[in-house]
Amino acid sequence: MTLLDDLPSSVPGVSSFSAASTHQRQVGLYSPAHLDESLRFLVMMRSSHVASTPLCPSRVMVLEWSRVDGPSPLTVHVLRDGKELAKEKSAEYLGRTDVTEDGSLKLRSVTRRDSGTYSCVILRGSSLADKVQVFVSLTVAEVSEVDMTVQRTSSNELFVRCESSGWSPEPLISLLDASGDVLPAQTESSVGPDDLHSVRAHLDLAAVKGIGTLTCRVEIPGGNVVKEKEIYFTDLFNLPEADLGYSTWVVPVLLVAIVVIILVWAFVIPMRVIKMLRTSLQPLKAFFIRLIQGQEGPPSPEVDTVWHTPGPPMVVPQGPIEGPRGPPTAVAWRPLGPPDAKTTGMSPSSSRQSASLESGRRYTEYGDIFEVDTTGASAHTARANQVKDSNGQLMSGVDASQELAKRDLKEMMKYKENIITVGKILRVHPALIAAIISRQSQAGTKLDANGFGQYDSSSFGLMQINKRYHEVTGSPYGTEHIGQGITFLIQLIKVMERTKPNWTKEQRLKGALACYIAGEDKVIPLENYEDVDSKTPYGDFANDVVARAQWFARNNF
Which distant-in-sequence residues (6+ apart) come within 8 Å of 106 by Cβ?
45, 48, 49, 50, 97, 98, 99, 100
Q: Which residue has the higher pLDDT, 82 or 514?
A: 514
Do both 461 and 488 map to the same domain? yes
The answer to whether position 426 is within a domain reads: yes
Q: Is the pLDDT confidence value at 248 over 90?
A: no
Q: Looking at this protein, which amino acid is placed at residue 194?
A: D
The answer to whether position 220 is within a domain reads: yes
Q: Which residue has the higher pLDDT, 357 or 525?
A: 525
Q: Is the pLDDT confidence value at 457 over 80?
A: yes
Do both 124 and 186 map to the same domain? no
Crossing angle for the helix pair 479-499 and 430-441, nearest 10 degrees? 100
CATH number at residue 203: 2.60.40.10
Q: Is the pLDDT confidence value at 25 over 90?
A: no
The answer to whether position 15 is within a domain reads: no
Q: Is the pLDDT confidence value at 553 over 50?
A: yes
Q: Is the pLDDT confidence value at 235 over 60?
A: no
Do both 413 and 504 map to the same domain? yes
- The string of pLDDT tens digits covering residues 337-364 is 334 433 334 444 444 444 434 444 458 8
The answer to whether position 30 is within a domain reads: yes
The answer to whether position 68 is within a domain reads: yes
Choose one of 103, 138, 173: the last residue of a domain: 138
CATH number at residue 360: 1.10.530.10
pLDDT-based confidence at residue 63 (cuts at 50, 70, 90): confident
Choose one of 234, 249, 264: the last residue of a domain: 234
The answer to whether position 253 is within a domain reads: yes
Do both 95 and 115 map to the same domain? yes
pLDDT of residue 44: 25
Q: Is the pLDDT confidence value at 323 over 90?
A: no
CA 438, 468, 511, 431 dihedral sign is: positive
Q: Is the pLDDT confidence value at 410 over 90?
A: yes
- What is the b/e burial string over 165-192, where b = at least 16 CB atoms within 10 angstroms of the residue's CB? eebbbebebbbbbeeeeebebeeeeeee
Q: Is the pLDDT confidence value at 126 over 50?
A: yes
pLDDT of residue 465: 87
Do both 459 and 438 map to the same domain? yes
Do both 183 and 69 map to the same domain? no
Interatomic CA distance for residues 169 and 187, integer angstroms: 17
Contact predicate 395/387, CB 8 Å:
yes
Choose one of 104, 138, 172: the last residue of a domain: 138
State the chain's mean pLDDT as an integer: 72
Interatomic CA distance for residues 216 and 160, integer angstroms: 10
Taken as a whole, the chain contains a residue count of 557
Structural domain that includes position 254: 241-292
Give CA separation, 327 vs 163, 211, 387, in Å: 21, 17, 28
Percent of the chain with pLDDT over 90: 27
Q: Is the pLDDT confidence value at 218 over 90?
A: yes
Greatest mean pLDDT among 136-140, 204-208, 256-260, 459-463 lies in 459-463
Do both 364 and 485 map to the same domain? yes
Do both 225 and 265 map to the same domain? no
Lowest-pLDDT range, 107-121, 498-512, 533-547? 107-121
H or E stretch including 43?
helix 40-44
State the total domains in the chain. Answer: 4
Do both 105 and 194 map to the same domain? no
Contact predicate 205/197, CB 8 Å:
no
The answer to whether position 379 is within a domain reads: no
Contact predicate 5/50, CB 8 Å:
yes
Do both 130 and 157 map to the same domain? no
Do both 273 and 421 map to the same domain? no
The answer to whether position 304 is within a domain reads: no
Do both 539 and 409 map to the same domain? yes
